[in-house]
């Protein structure tokens, strides 16, 4: 299988009051196309920082990241944004829906950015898939947390991403709702054949993926395949 993400010798530090804080130190790993992959670790271990770097949302101090065959360190901000719009999907803990747009309009945004002519129809089909056929014209404030995350799921898959990053996708949801969202996520992912990378502190969720990368103190403490693989 081809590698869709290749991270080599990644290092990231931030300035703090007493000097410099190293968040990630000498991180190297790769992810195959179509693989389900989780990054776990305690709070402050660098999980979300690593996601931001891998997705081209931030730049490392040193090291290289190759995403979808492109070394993203060499791209400018506009080129990174274009790559994300064409190749990457995101699901966030706090949903990040646009409050002034309806559910259907939120899902249609990535499609419209790509110039799709049938964005509204595609958005409607995706909302039906996630069980929101009767919520097309509702605004985020009119939806429950679980419904908002379903909209976010539909939006994430709307541009048929090659790779999807999910940052604590059930963090704001109760257990029962969270389990339904995770099942939907894996079902949609399997149907689309997308590479899935989940950032989570939930080991039960992590074990549903094919590989687990554990961070501790900014370093990789474990990289193993699961029984799922």
Domains of the chain, start order: 32-59+75-225 (3.40.50.300)
Residue 212's CB is within 10 A of a number of other CB atoms, namely 20
Question: Each residue of 161-209: pLDDT tens digit?
Answer: 999 999 998 888 888 888 999 999 999 999 999 999 999 988 889 999 9
**CB within 8 Å of 65: residues ≥ 6 apart:** 5, 6, 7, 8, 10, 53, 54, 56, 71, 72, 73
Q: CA 188, CA 182: separation in Å to the nearest integer?
A: 10
- Residue 31 pLDDT exceeds 90: yes
- Per-residue pLDDT, 93: 85
| pTM for this predicted structure | 0.91
Please list, in sequence order, all residues whose beta carbon lies within 8 angstroms of the beta carbon of residue 118, skipping any fewer than 6 positions away.
Answer: none
Q: Is the distance from CB of 210 to CB of 227 less than 8 angstroms?
A: no
How confident is the model at residue 229, as a pLDDT? 56
Helix (H) / strand (E) containing 203: helix 203-206
Lowest mean pLDDT among 27-31, 40-44, 144-148, 183-187: 40-44
| Predicted confidence (pLDDT) at residue 114 exceeds the cutoff of 90 | no
In terms of Cβ atoms closer than 10 Å to its own Cβ (0-12, 13-18, 19+), residue 86 is middle
């Amino acid at each position: 299988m081809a590698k869709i993400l290749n991270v080599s010798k990644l290092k990231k530090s931030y300035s703090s009051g007493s000097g410099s804080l190293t968040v990630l130190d000498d991180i190297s790993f790769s992810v195959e196309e179509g693989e389900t992959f989780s990054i776990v670790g305690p709070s402050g271990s660098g999980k979300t920082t690593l996601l931001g770097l891998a997705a081209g949302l931030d730049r490392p101090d040193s090291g290289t990241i190759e995403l979808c065959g492109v070394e993203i360190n060499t791209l400018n901000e506009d080129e990174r944004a274009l790559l994300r719009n064409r190749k990457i999907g995101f699901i966030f803990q706090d949903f990040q829906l646009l409050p002034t747009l309806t559910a259907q309009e939120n899902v249609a945004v990535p499609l419209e950015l790509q110039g799709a002519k049938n964005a509204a129809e595609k958005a409607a089909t995706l909302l039906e898939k996630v069980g929101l056929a009767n919520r097309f014209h509702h605004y985020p404030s009119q939806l429950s947390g679980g419904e908002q995350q379903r909209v976010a799921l539909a939006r994430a898959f709307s541009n048929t991403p090659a790779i999807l990053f999910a940052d604590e996708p059930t963090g704001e949801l109760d257990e029962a709702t969270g389990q339904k969202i995770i099942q939907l996520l894996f079902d949609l992912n399997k149907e689309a054949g997308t590479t899935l990378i989940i950032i989570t502190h939930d080991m039960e969720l992590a074990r549903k993926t094919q590989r687990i990368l554990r961070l501790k103190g900014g370093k990789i403490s474990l990289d193993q395949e699961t029984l799922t693989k």
